[in-house]
Amino acid sequence: MSLLNSIAMILTTYMVQFFIVPLFLQIGSSDSLRINLTIGISSILVTLIFMMFREIKARYIFLCVILYYGLAYLFNPNAAYGIGRGFLNLPELDVLVLTLIVLCSQITTWVIVKIFNLGKLTVEPK
């Protein structure tokens, strides 16, 4: 069941980043800071929301990020986030960088939530 939760989280992250966010933000391909912030913040928010309601295992995040890479590589509407428009014109490299940002954001969020939950269990109010 946790694998299905992780797949749903990755699919939701992809949908938010490639279909919902572009409706509200116009991000140029040369604006790398906004691209990185948008990808990072949306990944963190989706991960937090999923972790509030579902059990997510870190090993499945690592596994499901391959699905994210495949989706972002195969279908990125209008060269979203400058994919394929960089200096080297290598969409594989651009998608890999976005995937690593998503992975780092999700794992960092997972660790922080787990530490916070552990602290709630071990610290007793006086």
Return the pLDDT at 121: 58
Which of 19, 112, 126, 2 minimizes the C-alpha distance to 63? Answer: 2
Confidence of residue 82 (pLDDT cuts 50, 70, 90): low
Confidence of residue 86 (pLDDT cuts 50, 70, 90): low
| Tokens 């299905």 belong to residue | 4
Residues in the chain: 126
Ramachandran angles phi, psi of 56, nearest 5°: -120, 130
Please write the tens of the pLDDT for every residue from 6-45. 899 999 999 998 888 888 877 766 677 888 888 889 999 9
Predicted model pTM: 0.80
Going by C-beta distance under 8 Å and a sequence separation of 6 or more, which residues neighbour residue 63? 3, 6
Instruction: Output the six-digit token pair for 21.
Output: 């966010």
Instruction: Output the six-digit token pair for 5.
Output: 């939760």
% of the chain exceeding 70 in pLDDT: 82
Distance of alpha carbon 8 from alpha carbon 68, whole angstroms:
11
